[in-house]
Amino acid sequence: MNMSARQTPYLAMNNSTPGSLASDNWAMDYQSTRQASASDTTSGKQTSAIHFHDLHPTPADMRADVLDGLSSAQKRLSPKYFYDAQGSRLFDAICELPEYYPTRTEIAILRQHGAAMAARLGRDALLVELGSGSSLKIQVLLEALRPAVYMPVDISKDHLLQSAESLATRFPFLQVHAVCTDYSVPFELPVEDHVHPRAAFFPGSSIGNFEPADAQRFLTRVGELLGPGGRLLVGVDLIKDHRVLEAAYNDADEVTAAFNLNLLTRINRELDADFDLTGFRHTAWFNSDLSRIEMHLISTREQQARIAGRDFAFREGESIHTECSYKYDIDGFHRLARQAGFEPEQVWTDQPIDTGSNPRSNTAPDQPPLFSVHCLVWRG
């Protein structure tokens, strides 16, 4: 989105928005004008509204979270703070890395099975995407899904706005209601819509960034937002050889290292801190007992940092734990989904799954699947 469009809020609703859909008075609607599509022969121009709902997710909580996390015995920082504008750019670069199999694998699954997924979710829905980032993956499904409203939800405001704008340009039929909020805390959908069925998309295995108990609570909240019969399409990274996992989070070009260290740059800027980035190095390993990748920043020497007026000491070799990425097997994820109140309907993977249902068959795949996409239905 260009700056002039962003600085010019339009409060009028777009006429083509379904009558039952109302934006609250704190929402800002950004209107953009773009060249007519080939089918738009009457006006020569076509306008579309990006409705932007800013629920102001971060500043005060970030200070308290960071000070609290760095005060604990195992120092930690929440991964949700990775995503300032630079963090979002670096994440997009990670998605292009040869070692980072999840993005290309999930997109391949969406491409191969998109029609079946769309048939499950249904057309004409209010479609919420959680942690939408660049809204790349949903593009594979949009033509088949034709949602009444697409609602990307993300904590990274500028990136969300840019992505929403370019998506609306690429898909002229789309009504976009972008919501900037922190999905890890309860929030309401900022629309009143009692007409369209609800569906949600949660790709990227971001579910793995929650501790399992928090993942269960989060899924329950998503189910409550969807209502009875609502469906969730969720991407889940699978347990696999630790060498494949560790390579994905320790890439040769050190883009993931830059992404991890950018957290300290952000804290320096936003919390008046003085971390010396040369005193920390990135590392990630698979913790097989807990079935999770852990990302850490390791202090390479004894040092101090001042953050928001408080001093913190770091020993040589001491770590700040910055991210967990839990890996599941299919049954383990289904257990989690059921405990949260969902019923698993279908799962798609990049390789056939050996169900073991016919002990005489010789169908064990040569390679186990890397990634899975699940359709879950909310039991209510």
Closest to 80 measured CA to CA, from 183, 188, 211, 192:
183
By beta-carbon proximity to ligand SAM, the closer residue of 160 and 376 is 160
Strand order in the sheet with 28-35: 9-10, 28-35, 45-54, 176-180, 149-154, 126-130, 198-202, 231-237, 371-378, 342-349
Residue 154 makes contact with ligand SAM by CB under 6 A: yes
Go through 122-154 and write b for each residue having 16 or more CB atoms within 10 A of its CB, e for each that does not: beebbbbbbbbbbbbbbebbbeebbbbbbbbbb
Q: Which stretch binds ligand SAM (CB under 6 A): 177-185, 187-195, 261-269, 307-315?
A: 177-185
Tokens 């007409």 -> residue: 195
Residue 206 makes contact with ligand SAM by CB under 6 A: yes
By beta-carbon proximity to ligand SAM, the closer residue of 231 and 305 is 231
User: Given candidates 190, 197, 203, 230, which one binds ligand SAM under the rule CB under 6 A?
Assistant: 203
Tell me how far, at minimum, the Cβ of 379 lies from ligand SAM, in Å: 25
Give the count of residues interacting with ligand SAM (CB under 6 A).
Answer: 19
Closest to 237 measured CA to CA, from 227, 225, 249:
249
Q: Which stretch binds ligand SAM (CB under 6 A): 125-133, 143-151, 300-308, 363-371?
A: 125-133
User: Given candidates 32, 162, 175, 184, which one binds ligand SAM under the rule CB under 6 A?
Assistant: 184
Residue 256 makes contact with ligand SAM by CB under 6 A: no
> Is 121 in contact with 233 (CB distance < 8 Å)?
yes
Q: How far is CA 46 from CA 14, 172, 234, 316, in A?
A: 12, 9, 34, 60
Tell me how far, at minimum, the Cβ of 70 lies from ligand SAM, in Å: 19
Q: Which stretch binds ligand SAM (CB under 6 A): 37-45, 179-187, 248-256, 341-349?
A: 179-187
Tell me how far, at minimum, the Cβ of 6 lies from ligand SAM, in Å: 18
Q: Which helix (H) or strand (E) holds 249?
A: helix 242-249
User: Given candidates 23, 48, 156, 260, which one binds ligand SAM under the rule CB under 6 A?
Assistant: 156
Distance between CA atoms of residues 245 and 100, nearest Å: 9
Name the phi and psi angles at 99, rounded to 5: -75, -25
Residue 80 makes contact with ligand SAM by CB under 6 A: yes
User: Given candidates 70, 118, 155, 215, which one binds ligand SAM under the rule CB under 6 A?
Assistant: 155
Give the residues lining the site for ligand SAM (CB under 6 A).
80, 83, 88, 91, 95, 103, 131-133, 137, 154-156, 182-184, 203-204, 206
